[in-house]
Structure formats: structure tokens, C-alpha cells
Structure 1
Amino acid sequence: MTRLLYALSGADKTRQFSPHVWKTVMALAHKGLDYETVPVGFTEIPAIEGGGTATVPLLRDGDRLVHDSFAIALYLDEAYPDRPSLFGGEGGKAMARFIENWSQSTLHMAITRIAILDIHNLLGPTDQAYFRRSREERLGASLEDIAAAGKAEIEGFAKKLQPLRNMLKIQPFIGGESPLFPDYIVFGALQWLRTTAGTTVLEGDDPVDDWFRRCLDLHGGVGHRVTAA
């Protein structure tokens, strides 16, 4: 059975950077499932699988097409119950939904402002034109003005992670003694920053930095597959 993961990439097709794709990469590794990565640019997404999605990740698992990283994680737990769970039960699913909303509303917006020009510069010309037009319309400012405002986000970014920092004094992962999908949600956000801007937002002695490095090393070091920007 052929398993395909459609993943957002820059002009360099080996450089996949989407936080949502990284959640799915980690989820598949957690389950020990083999797959082939199909890198796509922003403007190529509408044509994949006959127009099966407007966003990636998109997972083809045999005859099944599943889009959205959270939906993919739920699917993987249902389809492969004999492999390590991504949620550890209904409580884990509920926790993951909270973490997902916190990450996207708090971390993703800050990273967008920090990395927006770096993301633009990773893209090929057609995707650059799309990215500039769509992001400037969505955010109501030029990429350059957004990036200028993003400089203030760098200094305050570590404070946004204080809840995670406090929790890591008690347990090594959000999932407890071992990682679960909520860990991969936050990892995906920080991996997005690492692979696009490479901006240092955490001190080397920060427990969150230690946790992130442990996540990079998980599952045979799959997080290292793309180097830091």
C-alpha cells in the first residue's frame, strides 16, 4: 500500500517547513508508519489529488484521503490502534484541542510576524507573488511592515511559552513521561521558526529549549531531516 504525505516546500523541495506538516511527520513517526513525501509549493496545492484540498498536509493512505493535521492524527489512531497512541484516550484528545488553539492563536501569530520575509524568500517566484498578495491582504500590511513589527515579537516570544516551561518542571513532555500529539503541535510551531528564520528565541538553559531538542531527536531524529535556517 502506498502512503503519501503532501508537504509544503520552498523552491528547494527538500525544505519542508509547514508547522502543520511537521505535526503529521511526527505523528506518522510516532506510529512507525512508512510514507513517501510529495513536496508541493503554495500554488501547486489546488491541483493535487484532483483538487482534493486547499491546504496541506494531505495524507493518502491507500484509498483514503485525509486532510488537516489534527484530523490526520485522529485518523491514524483509529486506523492503527495496535500502534502507539497519539492521544492516550479521550482526555488526551480534549487536551490536544486546547493546545492546538493556544498554539495557533499565540505562537503562530508571533512566528508569522517574525518569519514572514524569511518564508517569502524561501519560495520560488510564482509562490512568492502568491504569498505576498495573500498575506498582505490577510494581515493588512506589507510584508516589510509586518516583519518590522515582528522584531518586537522576538524579545517577548519566550514569555509566551511560560505555561509549557512551568509544566516541564514536573514532567518531560506535555504527554507525560513520553510525547503525545500535543507535544507535536507545539513542536511544529517551533520547527516552523527553526526551518524558516532560524531566529533564536530561547536561551540554551531554558527547559523549553531542552524539550524542543528532545523532540528533534525523537523517532530516529526525524526532526533533524531539515536543517535550521
Structure 2
Amino acid sequence: MTIKLFDLIGADDARPFSPHCWKTMMSLAHKGLPYEREGVPFTEVPNVEDGISPIVPVIRDGSRIVADSFLIADYLEETYPDRPSLFGGEGGQAAARLVEGWSQTSLHPALGVIALLEIHDRLAPADQAYFRSSRESRMGKTLEQVTEGRAAEIAGFAARMQPLRHMLKSQLWIGGSEPLFADYIVFGALQWVRVTSTAQLLDAADPVAQWFERCLDLHDGLGRSVPAASA
């Protein structure tokens, strides 16, 4: 039975952009598992599988429903052990938690500021209203006030990638000799902005940019199947 993936979309169903949903798409492709997407706008997420989760991704695999990208990766690893591993063992699974923590506490806050208004503008009207209200309530500022720091975040973003840049001196992937879920965590963050924003964050000669290009080519170019954002 084909797995069903609920992922986040804006006004264009063909441009999924959530960093967490991209982790799950890459994980399913890594495992070689067929799946079908159902795009869900922000205002419809509470209706997914009778409200099982306030966020997506959510997958249905037969009778099993799993939410949260890391828990989905854990589920796929446990349920399909005969397919390529997402973690390469218990140590890789634990290390992926560290990568997730770095991504969500260092990369996501900056990327959220950089892409905030462009994400808003790519949503359908009802979702724009929800997005503005929820983000402004959370941040205590208007979207426009938050993005006053956009130029500074763009200028400083390359420095945030130094831990990965240092690692890439000795290996091609965060996973070592091959990509693992840890790679998909950071890929998802950068793909989020690639799909929603025209901001240029990394020089083409940067080892991190080259790693990201390799990620885009994985799984028959799954990442490239959604073109980069244009003005």
C-alpha cells in the first residue's frame, strides 16, 4: 500500500516548502518507498486525519498514522529495516538529534526572518490572514517589523554554516560517506528558503553550497523537482 504524505503548501500546490515536510520527502525517497502527496494549506492542517497533529508532516501507512518529521524517520527506520538506513545505527540517530537542535535553534530563526514576508506572499488569502495573525502574536511584532533585520540576517547567514563547512573538509555528507537523515535536516532548512525566497545566502564556491547542490541531485533530483523561487 502506498504511503500517504500530508505536506504544507501555499497558493501553488506544486511548491511544497515546509522544511520538515522536505525532511520526510527525502526520507521516503531514501528508503525507496512509494508515496502520494496531499498538499495542505495552513488553515486546513487541523483537519488532517481528524486533527491528530497541529503541524505537518503527517503520514498514513496502512493503519498507522505518524506525525513529526523525526518521529516519521524513526518509524520508517523501524518498520522498513531491510531498506537503506536513515541513521546508520543508534549513534547516527542520536547525532541526528544534535543536528536537528543546531538547525532549529541557529538556522531556522535566521531563515524565518529572511523568508517571512515572501512566505506570506506565496499563500492563499485565507492562509495569509492566519499566517500574519499567528506569527505576529508569537513574535510580538508585525511581519514588517520582524523583517527589518532581513539584510543583517542574509549578511550573517554564511557564518552560521561554519560547523557544517568545517565538517565538509573531511567528508562529503553529514552522514559520512553517504547522506543520512542528518543531511536531510539541514537540506530541509535550506530548501525552505530556496523554494520561497529569492535571497542569495551562499556563494557558489562555498563547500556548503556545493553540498546543497549534491543534496538537490539526490533521489533522481527530488529537490530540484521544485524550481527555486523567482521574483
Asked if 1:167 corresponds to 2:167, the answer is yes
| Structure 2 match to 1:102 | 102
Q: Which amino acid aligns with 2:64?
A: R
Scaled by the length of structure 1, the TM-score of the pair is: 0.99
SS where residue 65 of structure 1 aligns? strand
Residue of structure 2 in register with 1:226 after alignment: 226
Tell me the residue number matched to 2:7: 7
Give the distance between the partners of 1:140 and 1:109, measured in 2 at CA: 15
Distance 1:174 1:198 in 2: 26
**Equivalent in the alignment of 1:77:** 77
Q: CA deviation at 1:198?
A: 2.8
Whole-Å separation in 1 of the counterparts to 2:59 and 2:74 = 12
Question: What SS does structure 2 have at the residue aligned with 1:15?
Answer: coil
AA in 1 matched with 2:160:
K
Structure 2 residue matching 1:113: 3-state secondary structure:
helix
Show the counterpart of 1:45.
45
Whether 1:32 aligns to 2:32 is: yes
Task: State the shift of 1:138 in Å.
Answer: 0.6
1:214 Cα deviation (Å)?
A: 0.1
* Structure 1 Cα separation of the partners of residues 135 and 151 of structure 2: 18
Alignment of 1:101-140 (within 5 A): 101-140=101-140
CA RMSD of aligned residues (A): 0.6
Structure 1 unaligned runs (5+)?
Answer: none
Instruction: Output the amino acid matched with 2:13.
Output: K
SS in 1 for 2:6: strand
Q: Secondary structure at the match of 1:60?
A: strand
In structure 2, C-alpha distance between the alignment counterparts of 1:115 and 1:148, rounded to whole Å: 12
Q: CA deviation at 1:63?
A: 0.6
The Cα of 1:201 is off from its aligned counterpart by 0.7
Q: How many residue pairs end up in the alignment? A: 229
Post-superposition Cα deviations, 1:177-226, rounded to whole Å, max 9, x if no partner, equal 10000000000000001001131110010000000000000010000121
Divergent runs of 4+, >4 A? none
Q: 1:67 aligns to what?
A: 67
Q: CA deviation at 1:166?
A: 0.8
Distance apart, 1:151 and its partner CA:
1.6
Question: For each residue in 1:123-160, what CA deviation from the matched residue of structure 2 results, as whole angstroms up to 9, or x when unmatched?
Answer: 00110000000000111111011112122100000000
Report what 1:178 is aligned to: 178
TM-score normalised by length of structure 2: 0.98
> Is the partner of 2:222 in helix, strand or coil?
helix
